[in-house]
Structure 1
Amino acid sequence: MVDVARLAGVSQQTVSRVVRGATNVAPDIRERVELAITQLRYRRNPAAAALASNRTMTIGVVSFELSVLGPSVALYGISEEARQHGYSTRLVTIDSLDRAAIRAAFDSVGSDAVDGVIVLAPLHEAIAVLEALDIDVPVVTFQQGTPPSSTSVSIDEVRGARVAVRHLLDLGHETVWHVQGPEGWMATTARRRGWAEELAAAGRVGPPPLETADWSAAEGYRVGRELARTPGVTAVFAANDPFALGVIKALDEAGLEVPGDVSVVGFDDVKESPYYRPALTTVTLDFEAIGHVAVTRILEMIRGESHGDIPYIQPEFVLRDTTAAPAH
């Protein structure tokens, strides 16, 4: 670092700021430092940095169900943002939500081996157990649909669900059926709440939500066959896009057209959604941003610089081809 500073004609502290990705460096100075780094083939030594700062330069990540879209995409955002700040990540997955399993996960991460922990387990039971644990490093959680706080990152999924239901009501549908997620997930609660609140605000009666065992397209198909046998169904709000895919297949097999006979809205906007047939109207959630925001806040907490609540990440409605006015 001293050699880089000498070649670039700047202080060692300036080189350090450039390497750490700090923003308070003039563009021309940053360019000079980066050129010197390239010429000298300088590589930051994480072990030396850790010794100098009394930090491990590692962020622990505790996750549940990486097969589910939200945590898996958030994990990518975490690893990318951490790398930009010179941090590595240490992942531990949990397969049970009891206190012992979550405690074991934190022990496995090792508070002496990480500077902070990000928890990607957006389930009510996991958060309840976590709050009862005594953890001696900063912790940031991923929670869905909960109010903003200083230590949790959240998407306003209640609002996302309300926007989806409002779209269907504005098209002229009398009510909206809901394929809900499995119990225990914060996303299930938030999306069901948004659906119910928007129907209530419009003075409409909501039919009983259709329960599922997991987040798969197979469950959407199973429930979709039930919907296809139910008279008067014209609009469906599915709690995720795979549910919507399964519902559409079941309706098609029953001879019902989407959106001619039944309108369907999904949630999450998976990468395949524009290529469903027809292309799926849905709600986009920026799960990758969850990871970036979580790392930003955990680093602020490590430095003792965190202030205020973390703002909601807002969903966006995406209009495609699976919704239309009801047939008369």
Structure 2
Amino acid sequence: MNDLSEKVQKIAPEAQCTVRGNRIKIITPVDSVVKVAEVVKEYGFNHIESVCGTDYPSSNEMEVLYFVGSVEENLKSKVVILGSRIPRDNPVFPSLINIWPGAYFHEREEYEMLGIRFEGHPKLAKLLLPDDWDDKPPLRKDFHIKKWGAIEREDSGLRIERAVLHNPQPECIPTQSDFMKVKTPPLLERFQQALDVPDYDTLGRQLFQWVRRDERTIAISFGIQHPGSGHMRLVLGVDGDIITEVEPDIGYVHRGKEKMCEYKNYFQNIPLLERPTVHDSSGMLFPYVLAVEDLLDISDKVPERAKYLRIIMAEFNRLLNHTYWLAIMGIFTGHSTMFMWPMADRELIIHAAHR
């Protein structure tokens, strides 16, 4: 990683490079970010893992960090953290999707949650929040969790339940049903007039007009695939049997966990972080728990018994997870026996875990 640091210093002498183990952190002025990113990509780091924004109101700054990995065998264990600080009152950052296309949704999320504008991004549109969100970006420090309330949409009569100050409770985050009521993917906007009709005959006539006007392309909502929250649907533009456009609607998966964690202590956050993977909750907690232990410098103080117990629980959860997906696949493919056997084994594992 030291040779990468030297290459970065040659093209951006003002960049600050910190190498620690298999990680390198590069903080550079915002006008040097693109050329540094190109060097990092040429070195072999070709997989964007996440984009993280942080609000620092005390210094009137925001920080944007790109976490970049690689699918190359010799770089799989290494991570580059590339970023810069920008003014909080004018948070503009160059988009890096031309270098790492996988940053597309990450940049949209940071735009929506922190108000960071990524110059050059082809579509900085709503991703997770309702279309009528008119408050501050929710992950900014001066946005406070609000009491449960409601507003009325006068234009459509829809009642949208959402957060309205204090009392940090999980219920204050909009639900998936609220989200689906107000969010219209861009591809469907062209067909909104055709969909807002009093009867099926009128719908058919107007859809036919839209088909003629749009060169035979019509919009089909494919999904949601499951009634649970956060499941993706696809809005498809089709010409006959050919899919010509795809507009992903990734679902309301955010749930405001980052914001809620700011209002809770270490132990209170644990149930929140078990939720993203219900069938492997112990495994999901490992990154959080180990990170907190390292930050507090108490890793060597964790009792040996606790270490063994959490490894055992993680293994139980891993087995539960595998038996669950295998059983569900059996149902979806019409194999009832394939469903029953893994579920029977799953019951044994659950009893063992309870003991």
**TM-score strictly above 0.5:** no
Where relative contact order (Cα < 8 A, 6+ residues apart) is larger, the structure is 1
State the TM-score, normalizing by the size of structure 2. 0.22
Question: TM-score, structure 1 length as denominator?
Answer: 0.23
More strand by share: 2
